[in-house]
A and B are shown apart, each in its own frame.
Chain A
Amino acid sequence: MTPAEIIAAEQLTLFLLQQGALLVEKIQAARASGKPISAQDIQDVHDRYEANKAKIDALLSADPKAPPPPGA
């Protein structure tokens, strides 16, 4: 692995752990409060996904070798 790949693997591990911890925290808080997970909670994650997608699309559009986005 190159140094860049090692750093990426570390970042990835940390990110996934953070996401997992946030998810567990969210579900535990919902259970403790008696207020179940709602469609809005899922919509919030979906909004973050769309924001991530916009970022990666911008990143790839700067890459001349990158293929066009799906459906384009």
Chain B
Amino acid sequence: MRYALLALVVLMLGACATPVAPKTPMETLLYVESGVNAALTSATTLYKSGAISADDVRAVEKRTDDIDKVVMQASNLMSHDPRSCAWMFQVKAAPGQAIAAPTANQIKDCNDALQALMDAQQQLITLQQSLNAKKGGK
């Protein structure tokens, strides 16, 4: 009965939630930060169930902290200088809106933000794989 109900809920949620791919840098950051939050909550749930140890949770927390840090840095940078980052991420300007070429410093800042974001996404993927392995291994 429990599994039938769970399957029903999964189907309903699946039907309601059509996945949307992030199209802008800020949407990507929102995805990554939500993933960070979900990873820590997942670890907490697994710890409460006894599936993983306190050491495992601390290891997850250390990594989610690292990812969270770069996401917040990138978010701060993009909110203060969205034009250069929009250029960097090749986001199209609104009709009639010109995007000026960024300065060398702006390009460097956005390059750094982009690299940090890519690193963060990679770390998050590794983290999720590690959590899945823990779940499967027990």
Using CB atoms and an 8 Å cutoff, list the residues of chain A in contact with chain B: 1-2, 4-5, 7-21, 23-28, 30-31, 36-39, 41-43, 45-46, 48-49, 52-53, 55-56, 59-60, 63, 65-67, 69-70
Contacts and interface: CB of A to CB of B under 8 A. Distances in A.
Contact of A37 (B27, B45, B135): B27
B28 to A, nearest CB: 9
B61 to A, nearest CB: 6
B129 to A, nearest CB: 15
B49 A4 contact: yes
6 contacts: A13-B10, A17-B17, A36-B26, A37-B27, A46-B68, A49-B40
B68 A26 contact: no
B97 interface: no
A39 B14 CA distance: 28
A5 B54 contact: no
